[in-house]
């Protein structure tokens, strides 16, 4: 039996790339900064959508720090 295959597939959504930060130390924060810089250079939209860390205060601080980007 032949498998049915669509000729075109498109997922609905926006052109904004949503990223998440898990672990708010230097490596993760640096990666977020790199993503924002790359997006700016490419004229693309990137938004930090989620932040997580073992320490709530650290997560809130990074969320606030990156809120304007």
pTM metric for this prediction: 0.74
Report d(CA 50, CA 14) in Å as an integer: 17
Using the predicted structure, report yes or no on whether residue 8 has a pLDDT greater than 90: no
- Confidence band for 10, pLDDT divided at 50, 70 and 90: low
- Confidence band for 28, pLDDT divided at 50, 70 and 90: very high
Q: Give the lowest-confidence range in 3-12, 21-30, 55-64.
A: 3-12
Would you state the torsion angle of the CA atoms of residues 48, 29, 20, 55, taken in this order, to the nearest 10 degrees?
-110
- Confidence band for 69, pLDDT divided at 50, 70 and 90: confident
- Average pLDDT of the chain to the nearest whole number: 87
């Amino acid at each position: 039996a032949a498998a049915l295959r669509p000729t075109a597939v498109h997922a609905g959504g926006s052109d904004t790339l949503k990223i998440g930060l898990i672990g708010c130390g230097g490596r993760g924060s640096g990666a977020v900064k790199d993503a924002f810089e790359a997006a700016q250079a490419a004229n693309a939209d990137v938004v930090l959508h989620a932040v997580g860390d073992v320490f709530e205060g650290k997560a809130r601080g990074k969320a606030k720090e990156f809120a304007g980007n």
